[in-house]
Structure 1
Amino acid sequence: MWRNSRSGWGLISILFHWLSALTIIGLFALGWWMTGLGYYDPWYNQGPWIHRSIGILLLIATLGRLVWRFIQPTPKAEGRRLETIAAHIGHISLYVLVLVVMASGYLISTANGRGVSVFGWFEVPALLHDLPNQARLAGEVHWYSALALMILAAGHALAAFKHHWIDRHKTLVRMLHPGYSRRNASKY
């Protein structure tokens, strides 16, 4: 139930997936909202601090998720060959975009040479800073890669719904029920 099998996702992979999805959507919404804040708004400093802190925690979780993904079996994909290839490319693209968004966010936050405080619990040092136009360029990469991530994630969700409702595959069910296997498919 905790670990993946060739026929279903384990609870750890499912939790990584859904917590990451909710966090990414929340960070996107918070980031978009922050761009409209004025200097005298009470959230002018608080919003970015929360955004950065959650972003660093998501980075740590994503690295853990990638390690877990490499040491666990991946359930066999359902669908035609072209669909499984597209799904594989889509998943790789999602991971790459998540990492680009987080790396560019880190570069924005550390452009002034100060580290990133994570809710006051610990600080991530500024390893790379004072590059020419670092904050501006990283900001553009951050915004456009986050937007691309949201679009690709929406496509990912639509594909899951298509597999579930049109193709009648158990792709979505496997991401909702830990330990799902074809042997107990009649339960779902």
Structure 2
Amino acid sequence: MKRNIDDFDGMKDFIISIVTVIAWVLIGTIVIIGYFTIDTKGESIIISFVSMVFTIISSLGIAVTIGGYIWQKSYTETLKEKEKNELKKSIKKIAENELININIDFESASSSLNQGDIDKCSSILLNINTETIQKCAYDSAKINEYLFYQITDVITEILEHKRIILENLKKENSCNDESIELNNLYCQQAIAQIESYISSILAV
């Protein structure tokens, strides 16, 4: 960041130096013309030339100001776009890691179901936390609408599957084969959908 600011200051100093050199050249020209024309009553020539020189200097000053403004605006927009892309890249990476971990939790819950350990399955599901993913969604809303919707949609899927499985586990028949198979199916659905959303998020 510091290097970019120094580059801008260097460009500004370069432009000012050029304008200064041109101004001194014009002033020198005025003095020379004045020296050779003053004795021949060429005051009107000097006045006209001086007027023209100051008009040129004024025009150059305006041109430099406009040029500097346009360059600075372009530079600022480029810098903002770069920061935006870096933020998006960071959000996608964090979201990917969190979703992979949540998928591992659903796989562990499924494994516990197959072992008949309902309490362990419930504990795993209860510990699934989407706070970090929600923070990613909040940050993504500022930079990319599609990314925002992809993240919020996957959060909805995670919470919905988690809710359904936990409610099923509270039922009296939660330990029978049919119930275990159904809850296993919900776990596998959650895993498949999360994997799909990971691909969509990384593709943004």
Work out whether the TM-score is over 0.5. Answer: no
- Taking CA–CA contacts closer than 8 Å with sequence separation of 6 or more, which of the two structures ends up with the larger relative contact order? 1
Please state which band the TM-score falls in when normalised by the shorter chain: 0.3 to 0.5
Q: Who wins on radius of gyration, i.e. which is larger?
A: 2
The structure carrying a bigger helix percent of its residues is 2
